[in-house]
Amino acid sequence: MRLTTKGRYAVTAMLDLALHEGKGPISLADISERQGISLSYLEQLFAKLRRNQLVGSVRGPGGGYQLNRPKAEIDVAEVIDAVNENVDATGCNRRGDCQSGEVCLTHHLWCDLSDQIHTFLSGITLADLVERKDVKEVSIRQESRQSEKMIATDIRAASGL
């Protein structure tokens, strides 16, 4: 089992989409800036999210990505799964054969742990996250940061740079 920035990035980006739902397609450049994730890396992650039918894309200017389903119907476990981070703690993919074809001493322990984690993560949807106080706070901070930057670039543009 592993849970690294890859899975965290994927969930963060999907949550960003959920937060800006209804404003039309969101470009990866926007997400990259707001969430501090490399644009090229996001492209790779969204390729997988798209293949797993979690998001849809619109190409060309004004294009971007949108959730393919209502945010209340996308859970965190799915998102992590889509980018190939499996939250399975066993060494045998639950097959029970990691000790030369037979079940090892601790197999059931890891199965229990996997169930625990999966139950937790699949019980949380993007809609749940959007409603959380801490998420709202961070989101507000990110929005104001972004508009500050936009104003700064506007000034620079207006002054002829």
- Which residue ranges make up the site for ligand FES (CB under 6 A)? 90-92, 96-98, 103-104, 107, 110
Select from its own copies, DNA, ligand FES, none the partner in contact with residue 130, using the beta carbon and a kind-dependent cut-off of 5 to 8 Å.
Answer: none
The SS3 call for residue 145 is helix
Instruction: CB nearer to its own copies: give 8 or 58.
Output: 8
Residue 27 interacts with DNA (CB under 7 A)? yes
b/e map of 31-61 (b: 16 or more CB within 10 Å)?
bbbbeebeeeebeebbebbeeeebbeeeeee
Are the C-beta atoms of residues 68 and 55 closer than 8 Å to each other?
yes
Q: Which residue of 58, 75, 127, 135 would you call a contact of its own copies, by CB under 8 A? A: 135
Query: Is position 131 an interface residue for its own copies (rule: CB under 8 A)?
Result: no
Nearest to 7 by CA among 75, 119, 86, 61: 86
Binding site for its own copies (CB under 8 A): 1-5, 8, 11-12, 15-16, 35-36, 76, 89, 91, 99-100, 102-110, 112-113, 116-117, 120-121, 124, 129, 132, 134-135, 138-139, 141-142
